[in-house]
Amino acid sequence: MRPVLVVMHAPHEGPGLIARGLDAPIRVRTVLDLDDARLPGLDEVSGVVVMGGPMDADDVPGHPGLAAERALLATAVDADVPVLGVCLGMQILALALGSRLHLRAATEIGFAPVDVVAEDLMLGALGERPTVLHWHSDTVDLPSGATLLASTAATPVQAFRAGSALGLQFHPELDAGMLDLWLSTPDMVGDLSPEEIDEIRTAGAEHLPGLAPAATKMFAAFGELVRARG
């Protein structure tokens, strides 16, 4: 079986529960700051996962590898290759599909509900109004032809489906250990007060035990799509 390509942008923002749910080999690449970024061809992979990161999704001058990621995602959707974009990954996916990015439009950090507004084979595993981890300040418009799947008042596009691609603005990939890593990483919590960090940690202890199994089920559904492609 061909591996799933996982594109990362920061060492602490790995695939987490995605890798556990896939039950498939993965190939991790980081091309963010490479001028001559080269990602595997679609004939080499069974699916594409693009993770989060702190940079702006459109900052190609500062991070030239983003251009290669965007091009790969556009080609993958056209070719009906399974794609999953998380947070920054969703924003890059949206740009690849011709959407617009809005910088510093809505800061959401911490655990809070999202309203699921349409049925989806993968996202449905989380339920109708799951409490999930948010960690973003940028938003995107819904790409033309895509289906809106989830929303909040601050961020109207929290999840969307575009053919073979699922974009998630929030972070269902975290388990307790990964949340602890984030809360001890200065790049993640530098702008948060100790009280805000403690609040996120407490909310994680409350919500992750129920959320993690549901998220693993969602990623297993993605894994089925990947294995079907072979």
Catalytic (active-site) positions: 87, 171, 173
According to DSSP, residue 92 is labeled: H
Query: What single-letter DSSP state applies at residue 44?
Result: G
Other CB atoms within 10 Å distance of the CB of residue 107: 13
Q: Can you tell me the distance from the alpha carbon of 131 to that of 200, in angstroms, rounded to the nearest whole number?
A: 12
Q: What residue ranges in the chain does DSSP mark as E strands?
A: 4-7, 26-29, 47-50, 83-86, 101-102, 108-113, 115-116, 131-136, 139-140, 147-151, 159-162, 165-168
Tell me which residue of 78, 55, 103 sits closest to 164, measured CA to CA.
78
Query: Could you please report the per-residue DSSP string of 13-32?
Result: ---THHHHHH-S-EEEE--T
Measured distance CA(170)–CA(139) in Å, rounded: 11
Cβ–Cβ under 8 Å, residues 160 and 142? yes
Q: How far is CA 137 from the centre of its chain?
A: 14
Tokens 């896939």 correspond to what residue?
Answer: 22
